[in-house]
A and B are shown apart, each in its own frame.
Chain A
């Protein structure tokens, strides 16, 4: 029997010790009318080799593609050691480290992770991880409202990832929190402090500041932090951890720094994997640590005075505080965080900065090649990170379909979420794309445009 070690003799001996004649007797407290009398209608069992064949067939895409989509999930090189180490059984099959003495490996990894993330963000403390970037943003806003103790209104620039905005709405809507969307400047592609003025007379708990924003454009973070702090609200940075190797950390924004910084951890060694599992991270100023959701690891001493690590500040959490907890969360996506810690240790600050700089350079080069094609233009002129918006002289969905036939995942269609931009694509090239890949995209785009009916952007 797969994964069940009992021999017929074991079964007989065990039933005898329990004092019942057959397995069925174990279920005699379940009302008879509810019991199932036939196996569920699911497919019959497959052996390991059969299921391996099935999965191998399903894992192979119909054609090989070059990926130029980013939009919150980025294709970076992952060192071989990262997942070979993370999938060691001692990490892979361990439980949440409640029994600290039997979990020093995981706990120390988390302590190292917290140190790395706090430093990357330029803030005092980090938790041990959350589900993903979008839900981390939702948790950050709930936290900001708790910490503010007055306003239940938060400002959300329209330059924040559209899916993140949806997740935030789903997570906060039952707690009487108003999420106000702030329009962006359609010329420069970022939020202007002027756009916030209509809210300057209202009490606001927090302003979200994405850096870079969804379009890859760099926001005027110093101005935005200063604006919200002048009005007594908290600044919540939404950042890409790889780009933090290059960009000014949230703790250094404006005169007094962002209060909370969160983001998607996937770029730190986590495969794209169809959208998950990834992990979210959250860092903040020391004064806010008791409002933080999620697991937090602290260093302490054992009975003999030796250093060790343990989960701490658990009085915030659901298993102690129940309905008064900061969140119902009880995971920190531990395995993903373990992989990310190893990834950062292998790359170091120099490696991380190189990945960030190379990705920015690749995207810049891609945008130049694409906009050399007649009719293709670039939106938003200011400073960019590793994404760019290009505008097409033909239907964006038709062009993407045609590019897929040519082996190119050409970017994210912005038509649904930003119809005001016309037929626009969000494109990304990380350090994994070579010059020949960029040339290939440009050639195929040119061909795809020749195929489709050209209309003005």
Chain B
């Protein structure tokens, strides 16, 4: 049932709207003739409807969510409550700095914490998501080369295992993408990289640990190859959770990074955002950071804008980015504190390696059995698919029946029938053991009752949905029945 189908003329009470006033004297040609299609429901109707809808979701608060490359860790409730203190919610973005010193102090402190844990010289918090952080990062690479009059560099190199955002971002910044291959152990193929770099190389975008769930041990050689060719190194912070407090992108030689606060710093995913993707840079790129950034001066905190930062790549949002998300990340960082940062990487990696070992024992095939897992790892169901016809998507859907969210499927595309599994540090051994037990059951079912797996899920509000029909017979808005 849609909210529109609950609507009845005359049911709305409008006690949440202001009392009616005489309408402003505006030319009739500028006014709306027909009302928009909004429902007329009681408050209880709406509350019940959206509460029931929420119950049709899986979420971290209700299920284990081993979604690789997404870092679905617990989102502490204190972070939400403190970011929603009335004083923060009421702050107008154009309010004078004198009126929002406490808010600016939090943002400044967060900048400093991110600088320290990433090893970068300067940070801007404004990008509103990881992908916008990537855009800012590549735009800064371009601004750097342009500032040196180096206009020949037209290519961004990405490993073939990279997130789709990497090539999409390079294109938005006017660069062509060049892919380099991965070797059999999941590392960047150094020979391929050497032959790919040259005077056209603007930079390399790298996730480390990679999307294959392994740390790139030749990172120093990669750095030297790219820097040697005059390119810059971009760190995609998607997997920062694996190394927080253990090793810093700045120390690995990266020139630009973005951090996904909705992953490593535990701000909520919200069913698809809002996230935040702050960017950090080495000193030679600091002047290009997107504005505004927060500065601490004698009289207090202030925004630095285009006026103080004329060489900035510019502004990515009308105001200062997703401030409420930044506040949540700040609260989280303060609760972790000095001692807690490395503990995140320790236990995220422990959980991943434990789960990997247990799934291997249960008969699942690992994509990189000789490697240490980072905070995530890959299981390949290629052989299972060949022998039983049950593939990664089937196992994923069957997991839903057993009360677990599915791992990431079919990414990275390098490994066929893959499940990318990331348990995060906030899950207990009991939860991991229950997941292994569920996976064992599914493996058993794949051999004995394959139809059960192939037709999963069976217990959710809907069964497998027809994606082809959705794209072919586009139905993107509800329409009232003409009768």
Contact = CB atoms under 8 A, between A and B. Distances in A.
A336 B274 contact: yes
Nearest to A243: B32
Interface string A47-63: 11001101111111110
A345 B3 contact: yes
Interface residues of A, number: 194
Contacts, number: 668
A26 B474 contact: no
Contacts of A52: 78, 81-82
Given A75-B92, A333-B273, A400-B96, A318 B168 contact: yes
Contact of B463 (A101, A131, A222, A327): A101
B47 A272 contact: no
Nearest to B89: A271
Given A13-B429, A313-B471, A36 B318 contact: no
A274 B93 contact: yes
Contact of A345 (B38, B58, B106, B319): B38
A17 B354 contact: yes
B273 A289 contact: no
Task: Specify which of B47, B82, B167, B270 lies most central, judged by the most chain A CB atoms within 10 Å of its CB.
Answer: B270
Contact of A101 (B40, B130, B464): B464
B364 interface: no
A310 B462 CA distance: 11
B322 A276 contact: yes
Contacts of B417: none
A31 B219 contact: yes
B273 A336 contact: yes
A260 interface: no
B73 interface: yes
A318 B94 contact: no
B483 interface: no
A47 B336 CA distance: 9
Given A29-B372, A90-B54, 9 more contacts: A19-B357, A73-B92, A124-B477, A271-B90, A321-B168, A323-B176, A329-B131, A336-B274, A345-B46
A112 B317 CA distance: 26
14 contacts: A3-B335, A36-B342, A45-B337, A55-B106, A90-B55, A95-B405, A97-B272, A105-B57, A125-B476, A176-B174, A249-B32, A322-B168, A331-B272, A333-B272
A105 B271 CA distance: 9
Contacts of A347: 14, 16-17, 38
A57 B75 CA distance: 23
A454 interface: no
A6 B91 CA distance: 39
A59 B168 contact: no
A175 interface: yes
Contacts of A297: 476
Interface in A63-80: 65, 67, 69, 71-73, 75, 77, 79
Contacts of A10: 428-429
A34 B251 contact: yes
B376 interface: no
Interface in B181-225: 214-215, 217, 219-220
Nearest to A271: B89
Contacts of A364: 24
A163 B81 CA distance: 30
A408 to B, nearest CB: 11
A301 B338 CA distance: 51
Task: Specify which of A29, A60, A245 lies most central, judged by the most chain B CB atoms within 10 Å of its CB.
Answer: A29
B58 A99 contact: yes
Contact of A92 (B3, B36, B116, B268): B268
Contacts of B19: 354, 358
Contacts of A271: 84, 89-90, 324
Contact of A334 (B73, B131, B134, B272): B272
B117 interface: yes
A417 to B, nearest CB: 11
Interface string B1-44: 01110000000101011111111111101111101111111010
A55 to B, nearest CB: 4
Interface in A140-195: 161, 163-164, 166-167, 169-171, 173-176
Given A246-B32, A277-B274, A92 B75 contact: yes
Interface in B318-377: 318-325, 327, 331, 333-347, 349-351, 353-354, 357-358, 371-372
B462 A306 contact: yes
B170 interface: yes
Interface stretch (A113-121, A196-204, A444-452): A113-121
Contacts of A240: none
Contacts of A108: 2, 53, 56
Interface stretch (A81-89, A224-232, A369-377): A81-89
Nearest to A19: B357
B469 to A, nearest CB: 5
Interface stretch (B64-72, B227-235, B379-387, B443-451): B64-72
Contacts of B54: 85, 88, 90-91, 105
A272 B89 contact: yes
B313 A170 contact: yes
A59 B55 contact: no
Contacts of B285: none
A14 B429 CA distance: 8
A21 interface: no
A104 interface: yes
Interface in A337-365: 337-338, 342, 344-355, 357-358, 360-361, 364
